[in-house]
Chain A
Amino acid sequence: MIDQLLSVVLDPLRLLDILIDGISSGAQYALFAAGLSLIFGIMRLVNLAHGDFIILAAYILFAISWVLGALGLPPELNPLLALLIAAPLLFALGYAVQRGVLNNTLGKDILPPLLVTFALSVILQNGLFLIFSPDTRSIDSGALSTAGINIGYRQVPVLALTTVGTALAVIGGLQYLFFRTALGRDFRAVSDDPEIAQLMGINRRQVFALSMGVAMVVVAIAGVMFGVAGSFDPYLGPSRLLSAFEAVIIGGVGSLWGTLAGGIVLGISEQFGSRAFGEEFKQISGHVAFLIILLLRPRGLFPRDKD
């Protein structure tokens, strides 16, 4: 084990591998986490069904591809085009769930939102299981899934670069929305003090519903990237949620760029663990890195001033 560890640590190319693959999987975690971070920042709501919504988005993609195939069209999917269908669907779903159910659970007691989203998670998992069967699915995205760029000693998958680019764009976009738009001002107002915001004429329930809608658009993007990147089954939601949650905590609650950093820390830890100790240590390494950071810096790497 020590030999394997040294052979990794002392080899610059293998360290570079860890960096490249860690950043690309970290970007994916950041995509999973951005929506979670957003709604927690705005309404202190932890959505335990977040991961299952990501999987739902991947299945919507799968369904679109299936319909294309059934219509006799080529089933290869342009992810951007799929997103045009999935994003409005998920926005509407998020808006409706927040308006119809989750708004009624927000308050001092943390139990109701946790339980309701937990129940949603169970419903989504079993719903997907009933509709799509427990089989593992994958999506044919044509050339995108196999293309690579040669950087001398190895290939970097185009998909990895796309994921990193998407994560940067999503977080930059959310940051812009949050600090430069009227809707973002409402988000910040209800986040700072929902009662005063209400007094100032902001419809809190409406703003909460819109923020969930926006978060679900991010979920759609994350789900599309996840669906294109690999295979999935109905029960993968909880582990996506955990990665997302860890990225948020590592980065510091409420900081979107921190979430990106958190995702990358997680990705690099997993890649390091998997290469230095063996594939079966991949998951543990990520979790252990999270726990160590939690013990050393309970408020994360980039904590917000107030919480």
Chain B
Amino acid sequence: MTQATKPSDHSSLQIRQNTATGTIALLVFLAAGVLAACLPLLGNTLAVQWAREFLMLLALASLWNLLAGYAGLVSVGQQAFVGFGAYAFLHFSLSADKSIGQDWTQIDPITGLGKTITLADSFPAWMFVGPLHPLVSVLLAMVLGGLLAVPLSWIVFRLRGPYFAIGTWVVAVVVQLVVGQLGWLGKGTGTAISLDYAFRFGDINAVHNAFQAINPDTKKVFAREAYRFWMMLAATMLILLGILVVIRSRIGLALAAIRDNEAAASALGVNPTRLKLLLFVAVGAATALVGAIGAFDESGLLPVKNFSLLEYTAFIIFIVVIGGIGSFEGPIIGSVIYFVADKVLTGLVGEYFYIVLGVIGILVMLFAPKGLWGLVQERTGFTLFPVRRHVIFGNKEQDA
């Protein structure tokens, strides 16, 4: 992608952003996505589950990195959007129709047993538009996540720096507590989405039939798992490509300018608050989308689980920091390292894993604040997904 500037006094002046490595990296990235989409064909449930977990980490880490690493918005409350998305998905999977009351199971907190509730008995039927197709549900959850970000921003954007961080946390707790009070969503005691829900829809049945054509023993659960994996894969690919487009665009340039000197950037016509608000809303929407896809699950929803600070923010922050904050590559590397460490080390050291993770996080922050990818770049100047612009004067090239 070569952009020519205005041919004023320097007709030979050109700005180059992409490199050959950049093109290759992008192609490899797209090929990896296509290859990953074939994974369910192996028929291994665990592999598909693990891949989906990894994709969720990768998407959340990249989104948090966009907020904190590029826009300087260090949020500790992204779990609000993950949980909100999950519960929005649950809402759209519900139906008030008594004949399909099977759709809603409330889990008894004491016995752990499920109990079927017919919603129209307790809540007005107009509240329930579902059951909607999972694809429609996750997209609606995304839109609602973006809408939720707007009022939340009114509150947290009044706070600066570290107070912004804790402010987002408080707001996330409030969202969790409010969602936990909503009776039709289980009122904090947990709800499960039944397997029947998914197979109301022709295309998921078609997926099941197609898998059965390959292997007649394929279970419904596996078809649903594969469907969910594809949704997560598509969402993650789109989120990552979207982030790449944003940071390589004028918005990315403006963000870099704000990061270097906010006052100077404002003087040059960048509106920091508007830009940050835009990113906060976009990241909120995308985070809700990821949370919604994650909720398409048989094991059930629980506010303390789906709004987990540890899982959806703390570990995500460690991933980004260890991989390298403020770079596109960092969250990818961090996710791979975290995922492998989680699967290997948790078996070996159990609960010590979190302590080890915390210690590594501190060490990286103290001695390599740009993370592992930062170390690589410092040593080699190598970059896979080029973001910086280089000015070319005739044959001479300079960093811009």
Which A residues lie at the B interface, using CB under 8 A?
A: 40, 44-46, 48, 101, 104-105, 110-116, 118-120, 122-123, 125-127, 129-130, 238, 241-242, 245-246, 249, 253, 280-281, 283-284, 287-288, 290-291, 294-295, 298
A111–B325 CB distance below 8 A: yes
How far does the Cβ of B165 sit from chain A's closest Cβ, in whole Å? 6
> CA A249 – CA B362 in complex, angstroms?
27
Q: With A122-B314, A130-B351, A284-B177 as given contacts, are A115 and B361 in contact (CB-CB < 8 Å)?
A: yes
Q: With A284-B177, A291-B170, A295-B155 as given contacts, are A249 and B365 in contact (CB-CB < 8 Å)?
A: no
Q: With A242-B173, A245-B170 as given contacts, are A119 and B352 in contact (CB-CB < 8 Å)?
A: no
A to B CB contacts below 8 Å, 27 in the list = A40-B162, A46-B163, A48-B76, A48-B166, A110-B162, A111-B74, A112-B365, A112-B366, A112-B369, A113-B162, A114-B165, A116-B366, A118-B361, A123-B359, A127-B355, A238-B169, A242-B166, A253-B163, A284-B174, A284-B178, A284-B181, A288-B174, A291-B171, A291-B174, A294-B155, A295-B154, A298-B159
Q: Which of B162, B314, B321 has the most CB of A within 10 A?
A: B162
> CA A291 – CA B163 in complex, angstroms?
13
> CA A284 – CA B177 in complex, angstroms?
7
Contact of B162 among A46, A125, A284, A295 (CB under 8 A): A46
Contacts of B362 in A (CB 8 A): 101, 115-116, 119-120
How far does the Cβ of B239 sit from chain A's closest Cβ, in whole Å? 22
How far does the Cβ of B255 sit from chain A's closest Cβ, in whole Å? 15
How far does the Cβ of A43 sit from chain B's closest Cβ, in whole Å? 11
The reply on B68 being an interface residue by CB < 8 A is: yes
> CA A238 – CA B310 in complex, angstroms?
11
How far does the Cβ of A183 sit from chain B's closest Cβ, in whole Å? 25
* Nearest chain A residue, comparing its CB with the CB of B367: A104
Contacts of A110 in B (CB 8 A): 74, 161-162, 165
A46–B174 CB distance below 8 A: no
How far does the Cβ of B269 sit from chain A's closest Cβ, in whole Å? 24
B165–A46 CB distance below 8 A: yes
Given contacts A238-B309, A294-B159, 7 further A-B contacts (CB under 8 A): A112-B369, A114-B74, A115-B317, A122-B314, A123-B359, A129-B351, A249-B163
Contacts of A298 in B (CB 8 A): 158-159
B361–A119 CB distance below 8 A: yes
Q: With A116-B366, A284-B174 as given contacts, are A291 and B155 in contact (CB-CB < 8 Å)?
A: yes
How far does the Cβ of A31 sit from chain B's closest Cβ, in whole Å? 18
A115–B365 CB distance below 8 A: yes
In chain B, residues 157-198, which have Cβ atoms closer than 8 Å to a Cβ of chain A?
A: 158-159, 161-163, 165-167, 169-171, 173-174, 177-178, 181
Which B residues lie at the A interface, using CB under 8 A?
A: 68, 74, 76, 154-155, 158-159, 161-163, 165-167, 169-171, 173-174, 177-178, 181, 309-310, 314, 317-318, 321, 325, 351-352, 354-355, 357-359, 361-362, 365-366, 369
Contacts of B355 in A (CB 8 A): 122-123, 126-127, 130
Contact of A242 among B169, B314, B369 (CB under 8 A): B169
B354–A126 CB distance below 8 A: yes
B165–A287 CB distance below 8 A: no
Contacts of A115 in B (CB 8 A): 317, 321, 361-362, 365
Contacts of B154 in A (CB 8 A): 295
* Nearest chain B residue, comparing its CB with the CB of A249: B163
* Nearest chain B residue, comparing its CB with the CB of A113: B162
* Nearest chain B residue, comparing its CB with the CB of A127: B355
How far does the Cβ of B79 sit from chain A's closest Cβ, in whole Å? 12
* Nearest chain B residue, comparing its CB with the CB of A126: B354
A118–B170 CB distance below 8 A: no
Contact of B173 among A45, A118, A287 (CB under 8 A): A287
How far does the Cβ of B324 sit from chain A's closest Cβ, in whole Å? 13
Contacts of A125 in B (CB 8 A): 354
How far does the Cβ of B309 sit from chain A's closest Cβ, in whole Å? 7
A283–B351 CB distance below 8 A: no
How far does the Cβ of A304 sit from chain B's closest Cβ, in whole Å? 14
> CA A248 – CA B159 in complex, angstroms?
13
Contacts of A283 in B (CB 8 A): 173, 177
Q: With A111-B68, A118-B314 as given contacts, are A245 and B166 in contact (CB-CB < 8 Å)?
A: yes
Contacts of B170 in A (CB 8 A): 242, 245-246, 287, 290-291
> CA A238 – CA B361 in complex, angstroms?
19
Contacts of B325 in A (CB 8 A): 111
Contact of A114 among B159, B162, B167, B177 (CB under 8 A): B162
Q: With A119-B361, A126-B355, A295-B158 as given contacts, are A105 and B74 in contact (CB-CB < 8 Å)?
A: no
* Nearest chain A residue, comparing its CB with the CB of B320: A115
A118–B317 CB distance below 8 A: yes
B318–A119 CB distance below 8 A: yes
> CA A288 – CA B174 in complex, angstroms?
8
How far does the Cβ of A202 sit from chain B's closest Cβ, in whole Å? 24
Contacts of B318 in A (CB 8 A): 119
Contacts of A242 in B (CB 8 A): 166, 169-170, 173
A122–B163 CB distance below 8 A: no
> CA A127 – CA B358 in complex, angstroms?
11
A122–B321 CB distance below 8 A: no
How far does the Cβ of A82 sit from chain B's closest Cβ, in whole Å? 26
Contacts of B155 in A (CB 8 A): 291, 294-295
How far does the Cβ of A286 sit from chain B's closest Cβ, in whole Å? 10
* Nearest chain A residue, comparing its CB with the CB of B188: A280
How far does the Cβ of A246 sit from chain B's closest Cβ, in whole Å? 7
> CA A202 – CA B246 in complex, angstroms?
46
How far does the Cβ of B258 sit from chain A's closest Cβ, in whole Å? 14
How far does the Cβ of A93 sit from chain B's closest Cβ, in whole Å? 15
Q: With A111-B74, A130-B352, A246-B170 as given contacts, are A101 and B162 in contact (CB-CB < 8 Å)?
A: no
How far does the Cβ of B33 sit from chain A's closest Cβ, in whole Å? 30
Contacts of A113 in B (CB 8 A): 162
A116–B365 CB distance below 8 A: yes
A101–B314 CB distance below 8 A: no
Contacts of B314 in A (CB 8 A): 118, 122
> CA A298 – CA B355 in complex, angstroms?
37
* Nearest chain A residue, comparing its CB with the CB of B315: A122
Contacts of A119 in B (CB 8 A): 318, 357-359, 361-362, 365
B358–A120 CB distance below 8 A: yes
Contacts of B158 in A (CB 8 A): 294-295, 298
Q: Which of B158, B362, B366 has the most CB of A within 10 A?
A: B362
A118–B354 CB distance below 8 A: no
